[in-house]
């Protein structure tokens, strides 16, 4: 009951990290056995269509004399051994090619589904799998029942196709008795290829359906709860609360460094109450005036207060204050289009300072 409740809560699609964990650490992949079966049948069909005819021709040569005129066959001086040896060679090479073809088909089917992947997790011994209770649970699990039903349906369908193909041939078989062996073998080969092609067609439909079903079950089994997704995000990106606190600390430090530059500024451009921008200019080290501090509302008030405490002039110019705040970052020089008006203000400030200088 608890497992059902847990499954109901798993409504989120698996993340890339969860999919990677299932693949690399758990060795879980969406694999369809029907695809492997389909590959075997396709390989066997190719072998039957292309390898068997040439093998039959090679076998038929030594057998023809033995079947048609056995009384003329010489069994002395290793005659029978020569016949059997020739037949073995004729059968051996196509059988070897067929085996290689089937093995290649199985490998291609596996790689097509999983890529070049070695499932090392499956190689580790799992002693829980040998316990009687575990075996009993697997035997009557949903997957086991589904596999049994699928195998039963497949057996019924394929068996039905075999019967439909071979029942009409029963009446034709007597007519091939006594005919030339080549014609009989060609007929048998043609009907075998036709039957196998029909079976491949049926298994193709089954394999595609099973592949889609296995992928659906795979991704369903890896679904996550909303809490699991949040925890994974928190582990990958860090705790949002901690990140927010660290960001606040960095902002406070940057603000303190900025406020420390206000007493060194040459002039404060104000809105006059909503904006405050502190400018500094040194004709020797700077090509243009630099914004050393800026702020709005409460921060602007602090900048003005500090400036007044250190006798830094405040100049009210709302358009310039808004423009500087929106277009120039702290510790950056002003834009060329702002040179003229700022130069006039700084020149005025310099004249004011000279006028106020004692003596």
CATH classification of the domain holding 307: 3.40.1690.10
71 and 165 both lie in a single domain: yes
Give the strands of the sheet with 290-296, arranged side by side. Answer: 314-316, 267-270, 275-280, 290-296, 332-333
pLDDT number for residue 139: 57
Taking the C-alpha atoms of residue 267 and residue 36, their distance in angstroms, rounded to an integer, is: 80
282 and 209 both lie in a single domain: no
CB 64 within 8 A of CB 73: no
pLDDT number for residue 43: 87
Task: Tell me whether strands 332-333 and 314-316 are parallel, antiparallel or unpaired.
Answer: unpaired
Taking the C-alpha atoms of residue 130 and residue 128, their distance in angstroms, rounded to an integer, is: 6
Distance of CA 3 to the CA centre of its chain: 28
Cα angle vertex 138, ends 215, 129, to 5°?
A: 105
pLDDT number for residue 1: 45
Token output for 79? 């005659």
First to last CA, the chain: 94
Distance of CA 182 to the CA centre of its chain: 54
pLDDT number for residue 60: 62
pLDDT number for residue 237: 64
Give the count of domains, the chain: 2
Domain assignment of residue 349, given as a range: 260-356
**CA proximity to 231, closest of 12, 7, 26:** 12
CB 275 within 8 A of CB 315: no
User: Is position 255 within any domain?
Assistant: no
User: Is position 128 within any domain?
Assistant: yes
pLDDT number for residue 19: 79
Write out the E strands in 113-247.
Answer: none
Tell me the whole-structure pTM to 2 decimals: 0.50
The total number of residues shown for the chain amounts to 359
- What are the start-end ranges of the H helices in 69-180? 79-114, 132-139, 142-170
Write out the E strands in 247-333.
Answer: 267-270, 275-280, 290-296, 314-316, 332-333
Tell the residue number behind the tokens 């996550």, with chain if given: 224
49 and 177 both lie in a single domain: yes
Reading the chain (359 residues) residue by residue, the pLDDT tens digits are 444 545 667 777 887 888 777 777 677 788 888 888 888 888 888 888 887 777 666 666 656 655 555 555 555 556 556 666 666 666 677 777 878 888 888 888 888 877 766 555 555 555 555 555 555 555 556 666 777 777 788 778 877 877 777 777 776 666 656 566 667 667 777 778 888 888 888 889 888 888 888 888 888 888 888 888 877 777 766 666 777 787 888 888 988 999 999 999 989 999 878 899 999 988 788 888 899 999 999 999 999 999 999 988 898 888 989 999 999 999 899 888 888 888 888 887 777 766 655 54
CB-based contacts of 1, cutoff 8 Å, min separation 6: none
pLDDT number for residue 85: 64
216 and 264 both lie in a single domain: no
User: Is position 254 within any domain?
Assistant: no
CB 237 within 8 A of CB 244: no
3-class DSSP state of 251: helix
Question: 155 to each of 43, 102, 167, 192, 213, how far by Cα in Å?
Answer: 20, 21, 18, 18, 19
Question: 164 to each of 157, 159, 185, 198, how far by Cα in Å?
Answer: 11, 9, 21, 11
User: Is position 232 within any domain?
Assistant: no
Taking the C-alpha atoms of residue 20 and residue 135, their distance in angstroms, rounded to an integer, is: 28
CB 262 within 8 A of CB 312: yes
327 and 200 both lie in a single domain: no
User: Is position 241 within any domain?
Assistant: no
Token output for 136? 């009993």
Boundary (domain end) residue, out of 196, 221, 246: 221
Question: How many CB atoms within 10 Å of residue 278?
Answer: 29
CB-based contacts of 226, cutoff 8 Å, min separation 6: 9, 11, 12
195 and 326 both lie in a single domain: no
**CA proximity to 64, closest of 85, 87, 89, 81:** 87
């Amino acid at each position: 009951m608890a497992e059902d409740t847990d499954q109901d809560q798993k409504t989120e699609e698996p993340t890339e990290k969860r999919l990677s964990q299932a693949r690399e650490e758990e060795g879980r992949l969406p694999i369809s056995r029907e695809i492997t079966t389909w590959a075997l049948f396709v390989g066997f069909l190719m072998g039957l269509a292309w390898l068997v005819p040439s093998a039959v021709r090679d076998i038929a040569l030594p057998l023809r004399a033995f079947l048609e005129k056995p009384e003329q066959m010489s069994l002395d001086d290793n005659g029978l051994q020569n016949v059997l040896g020739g037949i073995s060679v004729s059968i051996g090479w196509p059988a070897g090619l067929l085996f290689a073809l089937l093995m290649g088909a199985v490998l291609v089917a596996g790689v097509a589904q999983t890529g070049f992947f070695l499932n090392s997790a499956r190689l580790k011994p799992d002693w829980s799998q040998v316990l009687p209770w575990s075996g009993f649970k697997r035997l009557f699990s949903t997957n086991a029942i589904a596999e049994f039903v699928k195998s039963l349906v497949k057996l019924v369908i394929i068996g039905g196709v075999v019967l439909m193909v071979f029942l009409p041939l029963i009446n034709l078989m007597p007519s091939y008795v006594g005919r030339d062996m080549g014609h009989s073998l060609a007929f048998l080969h043609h009907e075998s290829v036709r039957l196998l092609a029909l079976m491949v067609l049926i298994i193709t439909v089954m394999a595609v359906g099973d592949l889609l079903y296995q992928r659906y079950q795979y991704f369903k089994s890896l679904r996550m709860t909303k809490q699991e997704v949040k925890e994974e995000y928190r582990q990958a990106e860090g705790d949002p609360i901690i990140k927010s606190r660290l960001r606040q600390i960095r902002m406070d430090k940057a603000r303190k460094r900025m406020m420390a530059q206000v007493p060194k500024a040459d002039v404060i451009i104000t809105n006059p109450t909503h904006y405050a921008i502190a400018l500094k200019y040194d004709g020797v080290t700077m090509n243009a005036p630099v914004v050393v501090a800026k702020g709005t509302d409460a921060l602007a008030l602090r900048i003005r207060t500090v400036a007044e405490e250190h006798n830094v002039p405040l100049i009210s110019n709302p358009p310039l204050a808004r423009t500087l705040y929106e277009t120039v970052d702290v510790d950056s020089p002003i834009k060329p289009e702002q040179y003229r008006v700022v130069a006039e203000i700084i020149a005025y400030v310099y004249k004011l300072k000279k006028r106020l200088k004692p003596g």
